[in-house]
Amino acid sequence: MNWLPVSLLLLVACGKTTVETGEPATTPPTTTPPPTTEPIDDTDGDGVADVYDCAPTDARVYAGAHEFCDGLDNDCDSFVDETFDLDADGFFAADEADCRAAGIGLDCDDSDGLVNPLGVEVCDGVDNDCSGFVDDARDADGDGFGACEECDDGDPFIFPGQLEAHDGIDNDCSGLADEPWDGDGDGWSPVMGDCNDYDPYNSPGTPEICDGRDNDCDAIADEDFDLDLDGFTTCQGDCDDDNDAVRPDAEEICDDLDTDCDGVIQDRLDEDADGTDICAGDCDDLAPTVHVGAADTCNDVDDDCDGVADEDVGCWDCTTNGDRLYCEATTNWEAAVDLCDVFGGSLAVITSAEENTEIGDFAKSIGGSNPPQWWIGLGDAAVEGTYEWIDGTPLGFTGWASGQPNDVAGTANCVETNLNARTQATGQWNDESCTVNNPFVCELP
C-alpha cells in the first residue's frame, strides 16, 4: 500500500495541485452554469399552456378570454354564451353580429323570460312573441280590428260595432250573444237553447233544482231528484228516493217503514180500533167486527179472517147422509173445497157406479122439483184434459153425461154431477167453469 506524503495531502486539501515533478499546478477559472428549464407546450398559441387551457387546440377559448355569442365557452368558466341569455329562456339577444338565433329567432327582450320567439302574445302592450308587432296588431281577419281590439280575429264578420245576429254568437264583441233576443237577460236566447226566455232561472246553464220545472232546459224536469224512478221526486214528497216501494201513493204495509211518506210508520194499522191490526192478521181493518178471533156469522164475510167465509155448517143448509154432507147453499168450486176442509172432510171423491148413483139420487131427493148440479171433487185445472180427484185418487170410474166433457176453450175446469137430474138421469157428470155457484157434496172421514 502506497501512502502519500503529508505535505501532499495538505496541498490537496487547500485546493492546489502539484505534481511529483515539483512544478507549480495551474487552477482553471471559476464560472456559474445557466438554470435548467423545460420547453412550454401551447398548441393553439393563445398564451396559455395546454395543461391550463380548457380547449388547447382553439385559440378562441382560454381562461380570461372575452365571452362571445358563438356557442363556445370562450372564458373556460363552464358556461356557454352566458352573458347573451340573461333571462335564461333559451333565446339569445341580438347584442352582437355573430349571436346565435338557435334556428328560431333572437330574443327581443333578454330581461323577460316570457318574451321570446316562442312567447304567447297577450294584450299587454308588449311584443311577447318577438314578431315585431305589439299585441298582434296585424288584424289577421282584415276587419279593421287587431286581436286585442276584438273577440275573434279569425272571423272578419265579428268585431266591435258589428250588428248582432240571432245566431248564438257574440257578433259585436259585447260579451253577450244574441242580447236583443234574450228576453230574460240570463245570457241565453231561444236559438241558444233557452227553453223559457221569460224566466232567468231557466236556461242550459242553470243547475237543476227540485221545483217541478226544467231548469237546465234538457226537456226533463227534476231529473236528479227521482233516483229510484218511482214517479215521485223528493220535492213531491218522496221520503226515500233510494226505495221505489216508498212513495206518497204507496199503501202502508207491515215493514217498519213509512211506506206512504206521511211521517208515521204503519199508521194504517188497526184503523177500525177492533184491537187487531193488519200486521196481526186483521183481514179488513175498516170493519171492527172482522178480525182474528171474531165469531163467524152467516153473512158471506170471513169474520174471523181464517180465509173462509161462513164456515159454520148451519150457514150452508147442509144435510148429513151417512159419511157425506150435502150443502144446498151455493158457492164456487174453490170455496166449496175450503168449506169441506173446514167441515173436516173434502169434496166428494167417487170411485164406483154404486157410489155415483147413491150421491146423485140423494142430491136429487133434497133438491126439490128442479134439482141443480152439485160440485164434486174432480177437475182438470192442472193439465187441460187430464182430470184428477182432489185427494190424488186416480181417475178410474167416470160418469160423464153424453157428449161430456166438452170444454174446448179450456175454461171449464171443474166437474159437477146430476146434469140431467130433472129428467130422472142422476149421477151424470159435466165440466163447468169453477166460478159458477153450485151446491156441493162433502165427504167426511
**Domain-located, residue 319:** yes
Question: Can you tell me the distance from the alpha carbon of 251 to that of 259, in angstroms, rounded to the nearest whole number?
Answer: 7
Give 440's contacts (C-beta < 8 A, 6+ positions apart): 327, 331, 333, 336, 339, 340, 347, 374, 375, 376
Question: Can you tell me the distance from the alpha carbon of 366 to that of 327, in angstroms, rounded to the nearest whole number?
Answer: 10
pLDDT at position 307, please? 83
**Domain-located, residue 409:** yes
pLDDT at position 90, please? 77
Q: How many domains does the chain have?
A: 1
pLDDT at position 328, please? 93
pLDDT at position 19, please? 37
Find where cell 308587432 sits: 133
Question: Can you tell me the distance from the alpha carbon of 353 to that of 427, in angstroms, rounded to the nearest whole number?
Answer: 9
Tens digit of pLDDT per residue, the chain (445 long)?
Answer: 333 333 333 333 334 333 344 444 444 454 455 555 566 888 988 888 888 889 899 888 898 888 777 778 888 988 887 777 788 887 877 655 556 655 567 888 888 889 988 888 888 888 888 888 887 666 788 888 877 888 888 899 898 888 787 888 888 898 888 777 777 888 888 888 888 877 888 888 888 888 888 888 988 888 888 888 888 988 888 899 899 989 999 888 778 888 889 888 777 678 888 888 888 888 898 899 999 989 888 888 989 998 888 888 888 999 999 999 999 999 999 999 999 999 999 999 999 999 999 999 999 998 766 678 999 999 999 999 999 999 988 899 999 999 999 998 899 999 999 988 777 788 999 999 999 999 999 999 9
pLDDT at position 3, please? 34
CA distances from 133 to 116, 137, 159 (A): 13, 6, 20
**Domain-located, residue 406:** yes
In this structure, are residues 135 and 143 in contact, taking their beta carbons and an 8 Å threshold? Answer: no
Q: Is 424 exposed, middle or buried (0-12, 13-18, 19+ CB in 10 A)?
A: exposed
Lookup: cell for 307: 180465509
For residue range 45-57, what is the model confidence (pLDDT) as tens digits? Answer: 888 888 888 989 9
In this structure, are residues 345 and 311 in contact, taking their beta carbons and an 8 Å threshold? Answer: no
For residue range 77-133, what is the model confidence (pLDDT) as tens digits? Answer: 888 877 777 888 878 776 555 566 555 678 888 888 899 888 888 888 888 888 888
Greatest Cα pair distance in the chain: 203
pLDDT at position 277, please? 83
pLDDT at position 428, please? 94
**Domain-located, residue 403:** yes
**Domain-located, residue 340:** yes
Q: Which amino acid is present at 34? A: P
In this structure, are residues 301 and 315 in contact, taking their beta carbons and an 8 Å threshold? Answer: no
Give 199's contacts (C-beta < 8 A, 6+ positions apart): 184
In this structure, are residues 38 and 67 in contact, taking their beta carbons and an 8 Å threshold? Answer: no
- Domain limits for position 336: 313-443
CATH of the domain at 337: 3.10.100.10
Question: Can you tell me the distance from the alpha carbon of 188 to that of 190, in angstroms, rounded to the nearest whole number?
Answer: 7
Cα torsion angle, 170, 171, 172, 178, sign: negative
For residue range 198-230, what is the model confidence (pLDDT) as tens digits? Answer: 788 888 888 888 888 888 898 888 888 888 888
pLDDT at position 106, please? 80
Give, in degrees to the nearest 5, the angle at Cα 126 between 123 and 127: 105
In this structure, are residues 328 and 410 in contact, taking their beta carbons and an 8 Å threshold? Answer: no
**Domain-located, residue 334:** yes
pLDDT at position 24, please? 47
Gyration radius of the chain over CA positions: 61
pLDDT at position 97, please? 52
**Domain-located, residue 404:** yes
**Domain-located, residue 374:** yes
3-class secondary structure, 180: helix
